[in-house]
Amino acid sequence: MQQEIIRPSSIIFKQGNYYARILADSIAAMPGPYSAKGSSRLVTMECCFPRFLLAEANTHRDKSRNSASSRAIPVEKRAEQVDTDPFVPIAFTKNKSGMQATETLEGVEGAQAAAIWRRIARQSAQAARDLAEIKTHKQHANRVCETYAWHTVVFSGTRWTNMFNLRTDKDAQPEMQIIAMLMKSAFEASRPRELYEGEWHLPYVWPEDAQLIAEIGEDGAAKLSIVRSAAVSFERQYAERTASQVLARFNDMMKLGHWSPFEHAAKVASRKEIDRYALFRRIEEDFDFERFVFDTHVSSRDDAEFQTRLESLGDDLVRARQDYLGSRGRTDQLIAPTEP
């Protein structure tokens, strides 16, 4: 049965150029212990915030993410953005010891700080143009604009509480507080769509894409989602594309190993896949396998005994760790019996 594509409600929270937009919000609807109540909610949102915050955002490693690239955006486009609409702090704060400021610069001092910031932003835009004029590649020319640029990022994740708590705290960077509050508001306003086994969570795929998806062919919706997620690098995620263009871009990404945009589209796993994953998670969290292998190797009288003792762990355990051990030269091969 073909999955129905539904546009998520237009949930977007904005403050000036800052925004957080829900692209897809899903939860697995499955019977038994894997019901929606206990399932992980997967949310994908597109955000815009000052470029200098990206390093802080990237510390939240439990999120899949793709973002606009200074290596991809034309120099003139970036310079024009910084020239006409640069990021300028809402308020400048007084210097003091420690990481958190407590007082703002008021009156003449505040106005001077904003004027200096805008002047340097204009100079940075002109510097980027000057570098481009002498044929400097954008991967270098655009860097001088980054402090003053607005930045687009797409995030996907199932764990948001820590990020919201940490980044909305009064001691967080003020600009980070703004985008974190917008993201939190969008998250709380959105309602996840229940998906069933084999159905897809598909950012950047809309109902009007039905014909394009059909022309793309097998897994067309997923391929379209992946290609549009990748296009965030160029800030062209909403650009129109033909089926042949989508397929060509998708195949190029596969060939070159550009895997990060593949992390936003996700399919609801089968019960069998979930059972196996749950077993692997339990092994990883509750069992120090590497220590067990080392101790077993030391205490075994010969290779035959070592192999026999490893086999007793069971088929699923062996397969779960076989690649891990092989990559570290622990053992050449593990052959295990079927788990009883």
The CATH number of the domain covering residues in 12-266: 3.30.1360
* Residue 284, number of CB atoms within 10 A of its CB: 13
Q: What is the DSSP string of 291-308?
A: HHHHHHHHH-SSHHHHHH
Q: Which residues of the chain have pLDDT under 70?
A: 1-9, 30-39, 273-298, 310-340
267 strand-pairing partners: 200
Q: Report the first-to-last Cα separation within the chain, whole angstroms.
A: 36
Q: What is the pLDDT of residue 37?
A: 52
Instruction: Give the Å distances, CA to CA, from 182 to 21, 55, 90, 188, 198.
Output: 9, 18, 16, 10, 32
The two beta strands, 150-157 and 64-67, are: antiparallel
Q: What is the pLDDT of residue 286?
A: 46
Contact 149, 125 (CB under 8 A): no
Q: For the whole model, what pTM was predicted?
A: 0.76
Residue extents of the structural domains in the chain: 12-266, 271-327
Question: Which residue type, as a one-letter code, is found at position 102?
Answer: T
Contact 45, 155 (CB under 8 A): yes
**HSE-CB for 104 with a 13 A CA cutoff:** 11
